[in-house]
């Protein structure tokens, strides 16, 4: 993931950025809100982490400018203020979530991942790969317009894999999506779901591969 972090407290910003980079994420850091709208137009970010108490224009005004230019990027706001009014202002201004300082870095990372996943799942109502088609609104999959019977969990996993077509999706990304599953969910349970899903969708000209030690990859099937 590629994150823009806007935080004027340098030690805090560096600790957050270091935690992101330790996860393999890219983290760009800014101490002010003024450059943010232009930065979002220039680079492809997955989320914005925005402190409310910035020098110059504050986080609320920065967020307003971001939304005015048409950006729907997920935004997690940070604040040292625990007042309800501040949180309401941020949420009404277009923030997706709020985190009050001090916070655990693990919670910030978990909230960010959840925001980005929800954003990606909303991004497209209809996904198509070869003869396979998935209607996210109706939770309906078809191959050549013939319906495929999928469980609720299979629908969730298929939608995410189709959004990430051609990219390796880690096991924990999938288990985090499925209600009732978490990091303790066994490898066998997820592999069984993938195996069943693979049998249902591969007749549609796609291939669902297990990439050992890394995760799963949905791609077009090689020509016969």
48-76 pLDDT, tens digit each:
999 998 999 999 999 989 888 877 789 99
Name the domain boundary from 74, 106, 121.
121
CATH of the domain at 194: 1.10.10.10
pTM of the model: 0.58
CA distance 36 to 93: 16
Q: Is 73 helix (H, G, I), strand (E, B) or coil?
A: coil
- The pLDDT score that the predictor gives to residue 47 is 94
- The pLDDT score that the predictor gives to residue 34 is 96
- The pLDDT score that the predictor gives to residue 187 is 72
CB atoms under 10 Å from CB of 19, counted, come to: 15
Q: Could you tell me if 116 and 47 are in contact, meaning their C-beta atoms sit under 8 angstroms apart?
A: yes
- The pLDDT score that the predictor gives to residue 178 is 73
Tens-digit pLDDT profile for residues 91-123:
777 888 888 889 999 999 998 988 887 777 666
CATH of the domain at 113: 3.40.50.2300
Q: Could you tell me if 148 and 202 are in contact, meaning their C-beta atoms sit under 8 angstroms apart?
A: no
Strand-pair category, 168-169 with 146-148: unpaired
Same domain, yes or no, for 92 and 78?
yes
Domain count of the fold of the chain: 2
pLDDT, greater one: 218 or 181? 218
CA distance 224 to 222: 6
Same domain, yes or no, for 24 and 57?
yes
Per-position b or e across 20-38, b if 16+ CB within 10 A of its CB: beeeebebebbbebeebbe
pLDDT above 80 (res 137)? no
Residues spanned by the domain of 70: 2-121
Same domain, yes or no, for 173 and 115?
no
By residue count, the chain amounts to: 224
Same domain, yes or no, for 84 and 18?
yes
């Amino acid at each position: 993931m590629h994150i823009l972090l806007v935080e004027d407290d340098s030690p805090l910003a560096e600790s957050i950025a270091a935690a992101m980079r330790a996860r393999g994420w890219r983290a760009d850091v800014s101490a002010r809100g003024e450059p943010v709208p232009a930065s979002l137009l220039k680079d492809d970010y997955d989320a914005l982490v925005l402190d409310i108490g910035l020098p110059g224009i504050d986080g609320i005004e920065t967020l307003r400018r971001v939304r005015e230019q048409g950006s729907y990027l997920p935004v997690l706001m940070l604040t040292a203020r625990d007042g309800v009014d501040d949180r309401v202002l941020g949420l009404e201004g277009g923030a997706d979530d709020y985190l009050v300082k001090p916070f655990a870095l693990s919670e910030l990372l978990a909230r960010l991942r959840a925001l980005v996943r929800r954003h990606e799942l909303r991004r497209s109502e209809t996904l198509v790969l070869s003869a396979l088609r998935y209607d996210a609104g109706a939770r309906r999959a078809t191959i050549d317009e013939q319906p495929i019977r999928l469980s609720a969990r299979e629908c969730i996993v298929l939608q995410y894999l189709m959004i990430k077509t051609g990219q390796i999706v880690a096991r924990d990304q999938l288990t985090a999506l499925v209600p009732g599953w978490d990091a303790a969910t066994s490898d066998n349970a997820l592999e069984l779901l993938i195996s069943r899903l693979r049998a249902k969708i591969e007749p549609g000209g796609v291939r669902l591969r297990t990439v050992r030690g890394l995760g799963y990859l949905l791609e077009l099937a090689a020509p016969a």
